Chains A and B, each alone.
Chain A
């Protein structure tokens, strides 16, 4: 290889190292985001389940056995146990979903140990794409959350559950549509750029 070729080789090798470093940063940010999202989800689910259980058990006890303060205490404790179980179940489900990033981590470790090749780079790109698809799936889940929030806010302000439900459905459909459109746009951009590359080679 000539000097220019060697320079070009060093440049290409540097770029491959940069790709690995960027992907590693991305992987770490995904992991951090996954941990913080998991904490938030566990907190929200536990709180909602605790409140619902407390209200349901407390009111049922009052209705069945009369108004006694010890039923409030028992309902409070039982609701805590149910909320803890719900939080644990949410945590387990979220952890299982987090394993979808594991392939990216394994590939990155392999590439960090040995010299990276462009074929490894293509595999890494596919793994990053899979990871970003999981993140997009979460945006769809967020659409449902926005729908629920819209329902609660409109129902409380308007004091009308039907209008609240309508607002919730509209908010859900809008955010879902936006998430799907973004996903499709990205897919098209990726396929087009792949075709362009093959044509240009």
Chain B
């Protein structure tokens, strides 16, 4: 994926951030609302960039949680929104 959509990234970060716990792939996909191939594409992108950590539970199923880098990305995204909105005033 060359240039991910900022809205989709924000949705991933919001859901994992607000949930606060590890999530199953199906649960995460339902909350994000993307079709499966697109969801996997984004999930892999987020894992490869270190925003999301993949873990395995006792039943050997994959679980996903926000990494410290992901939490920082969420914080920076919110800070950027605020700064950009301040620059938009007329």
Q: Footprint of B on A, CB under 8 Å? A: 1, 5, 8-9, 11-12, 15-16, 18-19, 22-23, 26, 115, 117-119, 121-125, 128-129, 132, 135-136, 186, 189-190, 193-194, 197-198, 200-201
Whether, in the assembled complex, B40 has its beta carbon less than 8 Å from a beta carbon of chain A, the answer is no
B82: chain A residues within 8 A (beta carbon)? 15, 18-19, 22
B73: chain A residues within 8 A (beta carbon)? 201
Proximity bits, B63-90, A CB within 8 Å = 1, else 0: 0000010010111111111111111111
Of A12, A26, A200, which is within 8 A of B74 by CB?
A12
Chain B interface, DSSP helix/strand/loop, else mixed: helix
B78 in contact with A15 (CB, 8 Å): yes
A200 in contact with B76 (CB, 8 Å): yes
Whether, in the assembled complex, B17 has its beta carbon less than 8 Å from a beta carbon of chain A, the answer is yes
Given the interface pairs A1-B20, A19-B81, the reply to whether A119 lies near B14 with Cβ below 8 Å is: yes
By size class, the interface of chain B is 20 to 34
Of A12, A125, A197, which is within 8 A of B85 by CB?
A125
B80 in contact with A193 (CB, 8 Å): yes
A194 in contact with B88 (CB, 8 Å): no
> Using a Cβ cutoff of 8 Å, how many contacts connect chains A and B?
88
A121 in contact with B71 (CB, 8 Å): no
Closest residue of B by beta carbon distance from A136: B90
Which of B13, B18, B77 has most chain A Cβ within 10 Å?
B77
Which of B7, B11, B14, B87 has most chain A Cβ within 10 Å?
B14
B18 in contact with A119 (CB, 8 Å): no
A53 vs chain B, min Cβ distance (A): 35
A192 vs chain B, min Cβ distance (A): 11
A118 in contact with B13 (CB, 8 Å): yes
B6 vs chain A, min Cβ distance (A): 6
Q: Which of B24-48 contact A (CB under 8 A)?
A: none
B75 in contact with A122 (CB, 8 Å): no
- Complex Cα distance, B77 from A197, in Å, reads 8
B81 in contact with A125 (CB, 8 Å): yes
B87 in contact with A135 (CB, 8 Å): no
A201 in contact with B49 (CB, 8 Å): yes
B88 in contact with A122 (CB, 8 Å): no
B6 in contact with A9 (CB, 8 Å): no
CB-CB nearest 3 A-B residue pairs: A117-B14, A119-B10, A121-B81
B26 vs chain A, min Cβ distance (A): 21
